[in-house]
């Protein structure tokens, strides 16, 4: 539990610092240089792969995956884990909505002629939701290290895909991960505290 609290504190400090930088317009040079560097690596084949990867982090995809997993766990009698997934995703959605409205950061100009999403840019919903979805599933559904590594690789790939496609700045993606880490660490602390009380 102590490690989760430390992670929570570090993530909060980093998020507050990054949010202040964004709010005061201190990140454009960093964001634009990374956007150009990632876009310079673009090619048609890679773009098709990235477009497929980014779909796995969409709101529809992560909610569907999380809901199916929660239902399966519920009917298997593992209701505490089903509830944990539901709480993780519900909290992530709420935090995402609050932060996007609070910062109302405009989207960057997308690459490849794609239509930018209607929502604000900060933080990245794909980064936040994919972290909470696939991170939680890999934690509660399996103890296999390779599965957790695969989940981490997928989450990272989804974040990079948003910058590659030009629909997010890198600072948006980093913020999404920090919010997810903060939220998941908080959920872990509460979950472990309740589990201890039930013993």
Output the six-digit token pair for 91: 């909290």
Tell me, what's the pLDDT at 1? 66
A 10 A CB-CB count for 32 gives 13
* Parent domain of 177: 2-198
Tell me, what's the pLDDT at 190? 74
Output the six-digit token pair for 5: 């609290």
* Contacts for 106 with CB less than 8 Å, ≥ 6 apart: 120, 121
Note whether 139 and 28 are within 8 A (CB): no
Q: Using the structure block, give the residue that is written with the tokens 């920090």.
A: 178
Tell me, what's the pLDDT at 108? 87
127 conformational bin, left if phi > 0, alpha if psi -120 to 50, beta if neither: alpha
CA 122 to chain centroid, in Å, comes to 12
Query: Into how many domains does the chain fold?
Result: 1
Q: 119-138 burial, b if ≥16 CB within 10 A, otherwise e?
A: ebbbbbbbbbbbbbbbbbbb
Tell me, what's the pLDDT at 30? 86
Query: Which band of pLDDT confidence, cut at 50, 70 and 90, is reported for residue 181?
Result: very high
pLDDT at 198 over 60: no
Query: Which band of pLDDT confidence, cut at 50, 70 and 90, is reported for residue 188?
Result: confident
pLDDT at 68 over 90: yes
23-53 residue pLDDT tens: 888 888 888 888 888 888 888 888 899 999 9
Query: Which band of pLDDT confidence, cut at 50, 70 and 90, is reported for residue 179?
Result: very high
CA 114 to chain centroid, in Å, comes to 22
Query: Which band of pLDDT confidence, cut at 50, 70 and 90, is reported for residue 194?
Result: low
Tell me, what's the pLDDT at 139? 83
Q: What is the pTM of this model?
A: 0.90
106-159 residue pLDDT tens: 888 888 777 777 888 899 999 999 999 999 998 887 677 888 899 999 999 999
């Amino acid at each position: 539990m102590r490690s989760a609290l430390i992670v929570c504190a570090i993530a909060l400090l980093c998020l507050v610092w990054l949010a202040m930088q964004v709010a005061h317009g201190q990140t454009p040079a960093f964001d634009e240089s990374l956007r150009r560097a990632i876009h310079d690596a673009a090619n048609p084949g890679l773009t098709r792969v990235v477009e497929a990867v980014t779909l796995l982090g969409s709101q529809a995809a992560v909610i569907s995956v999380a809901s199916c997993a929660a239902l399966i766990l519920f009917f298997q009698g593992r209701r505490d884990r089903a509830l944990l997934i539901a709480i993780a995703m519900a909290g992530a959605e709420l935090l995402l909505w609050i932060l996007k409205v609070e910062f109302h950061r405009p989207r960057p100009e997308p690459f490849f002629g794609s239509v930018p999403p209607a929502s604000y840019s900060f933080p990245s919903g794909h980064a936040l939701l994919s972290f909470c979805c696939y991170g939680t599933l890999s934690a509660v559904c399996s103890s296999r290290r390779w599965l957790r590594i695969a989940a981490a690789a997928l989450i990272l790939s989804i974040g990079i895909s948003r910058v590659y496609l030009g629909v997010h700045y890198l600072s948006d993606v980093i913020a999404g991960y920090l919010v997810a880490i903060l939220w998941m660490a908080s959920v872990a602390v509460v979950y472990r505290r309740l589990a201890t009380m039930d013993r």
